[in-house]
Amino acid sequence: MKKDFMFTSESVTEGHPDKLCDQISDAFLDHFLEQDPCSRIIAECAVSTSILFIAARFASENASVDFPGVARKVIRNMGYDHPDFNSRTCSILTSLREMPADEIGCFNENELTEEEIDRIPVKNQVTLFGFACDHTPDFMPMPVWLAHRLSRKMVSVSRDKTLPYLCLDGKTQVGVEFRDRRPVRIHSIAVTASQCDAGSPSLSVLRDDLRETVIMPVLEDAPLQPDEHTKIFVNPDGPFVLGGPSVHSGLTGRKNAIDTYGEFSRHSGAALSGKDPLRIDRVGAYAARYAAKNVVAAGLARECEVILSYSLGQSRPVSVQVETYATGKISDNKISKLLEQHFEFRIAGIVKQFRLKRLPFENKGGFYRKLAAYGHMGRGDLAVPWELVDKADLLREAAGK
């Protein structure tokens, strides 16, 4: 295991075509669950110049969703109004299939007994990873945490007209040097922003503006500060005009590393967006993150990766493993046993504990769509239940620490 290394993670803005597809897919989920918490849906999108393709399978007793209408609303609210991609004129193709009513599997999770929860199986086979570390206040790896903050700030200065010439598409990357697996300095920062007009402003003005209004404000209160050797690149490949679907295509679920831990930890190959709460390949990732974060918050390890393996037809994971990268105060095996004793990893139990079928109704304006940009984990800006550390004291006491 390497202890001294440099690691980079990237983020993209909410206007990136892949993230646009994720947000449209999760907007469908919000609309279904707001009307019917028992709705089932799997939705994927692909986008390119002037066209959006939607593929969805769904089942609901009483929800009705206008797929093209929802998609156009997301595109419009995002702010895309380019001549060759906007909510009014883009073509929308759909492949929609309503599943049989018996696929719904409706239940009120709040009324289930323990025995009933234990009898509800998962319908997918998957291995999921949850991670947490003490690098940042949100228990996220430093590289992806900083990259997300830069991306959000880039969109913010565009929307508030600080830099009105910026378009919606952009990406960031942060490299951090580690010694003894601890972040010690910022090695490099790369920011690529799209602009609406090729000649305005000049590249030199764009670079100065982004340094002044995006990079420096984000870093001024960060746990690490750039030094005289930190490399800063702004649009290193030159002007990036318009961006978005006008320039490159997008697809739901193509940014798994950005959605999770920036590849500092492992992640499942399964997409998170566009799946209802009875998909274990989505909600199991949240349960794993919740467990890992509470382990670190309890002081049982500086880093913790929780690995959950699920098999078809089983309600519980067939394997619960922990890796603390030699930072644990107790053995990884003991932490695994504590998690199995004190955490809920059954599909119906996860849905019940986190209220996953009810959150879109309780958070008007969309819940899952908000997760679809800037990561599903480490979201201190949203009241997501898997980011709570309410079991840290219990773990610490159970471990005798």
Q: How far is Cα 155 from Cα 170, in angstroms, rounded to an integer?
A: 8
Residuewise pLDDT in 10s, the chain (401 residues): 688 999 999 999 999 999 999 999 999 999 999 999 999 999 999 999 999 999 999 999 889 999 999 999 999 999 999 888 999 999 999 999 998 866 556 888 888 899 999 999 999 999 999 999 999 999 999 999 999 999 999 999 999 999 999 999 999 999 999 999 999 999 999 999 999 888 789 999 999 999 999 999 999 989 999 999 999 999 999 989 888 998 999 999 999 999 999 999 999 989 999 999 999 999 999 999 999 999 999 999 999 999 999 999 999 999 999 999 999 999 999 999 999 999 999 999 999 999 999 999 988 788 999 999 999 999 999 989 999 999 999 999 999 87
Structure tokens at 141: 């790896």
Q: Which residues contact 193 (CB under 8 A, 6 or more apart)?
A: 154, 166, 167, 170, 206, 210, 234, 235, 240
105 Cβ contact partners less than 8 Å away, ≥ 6 residues apart: 38, 40, 120, 278
Q: What is the pLDDT of residue 111?
A: 86
The whole-angstrom separation of Cα 330 and Cα 328 is: 5
Crossing angle of helices 17-35 and 67-78, in 10° steps, is 130
**DSSP letter, residue 163:** S
Burial (CB < 10 A; 0-12, 13-18, 19+), residue 51, is: middle
Give me the pLDDT at residue 202, please.
Answer: 92
The DSSP call for residue 381 is T
Whether pTM > 0.85 for this model: the answer is: yes
What is the separation of C-alpha 81 from the centre of its chain, rounded to a whole number of angstroms?
A: 26
Structure tokens at 68: 């093209």
Assess contact for 207 and 163: CB atoms under 8 A. Answer: no
Tell me yes or no: is domain 126-134+256-263+279-399 CATH 3.50.20.10: no
Q: Judge whether 5-11+142-244 and 126-134+256-263+279-399 match in fold.
A: yes
Provide the CATH number for the domain formed by 5-11+142-244 in this structure: 3.30.300.10
Structural contact between residues 193 and 242, judged by C-beta atoms closer than 8 angstroms: no
Q: Which residues pair with 170 in a beta bridge?
A: 193
Give every CB contact of residue 65 below 8 A, 6+ residues apart in sequence. 28, 31, 32, 35, 58
Give me the residue label for tokens 């947000």.
23
Q: How far apart are CA 294 and CA 313, in angstroms?
A: 28
CA–centroid distance for 188 within its chain: 23
Determine the number of helices (DSSP H) and then strands (DSSP E) in the chain.
13, 13
φ and ψ at 266, to 5 degrees? -70, 160
DSSP letter for each residue of 252-287:
TT--HHHHTTTTSS---SS--TTB-TT-HHHHHHHH
**pLDDT number for residue 82:** 87
Give residue 1's pLDDT.
65
Domain boundaries of the chain, sorted by first residue: 5-11+142-244, 126-134+256-263+279-399
